[in-house]
Amino acid sequence: MEPGIPCRDAREQSSELMGYVRELTITGLMDEKPMMIWAAYYLSAMAKALMDDAELGMMR
């Protein structure tokens, strides 16, 4: 996260990423496309990092 970005915005972006994770996971499982599941895994790590940074920002 960059300085000056409101924590609320970061949390909203994280929520949007998790929506994509959900869609990629479902599609990957239903269509038997492991690459989509790996993409979901990667995006979920990004969303978690964003949430962790937002949490730290809210504690300050």
Average pLDDT, 10 consecutive residues per value, the chain (60 residues): 75 93 96 95 94 82
53 assigned to some structural domain: yes
- Whether residue 27 contacts residue 33, with contact meaning beta carbons closer than 8 Å, is answered with yes
1 assigned to some structural domain: no
6 assigned to some structural domain: no
Structural domains of the chain, count: 1
DSSP 8-state assignment for residue 13? H
4 assigned to some structural domain: no
Query: Would you state the pLDDT for residue 44?
Result: 96
* Residue 45, domain extent: 17-59
11 assigned to some structural domain: no
Cα–Cα distance, 60 to 52 (Å, whole number) = 13
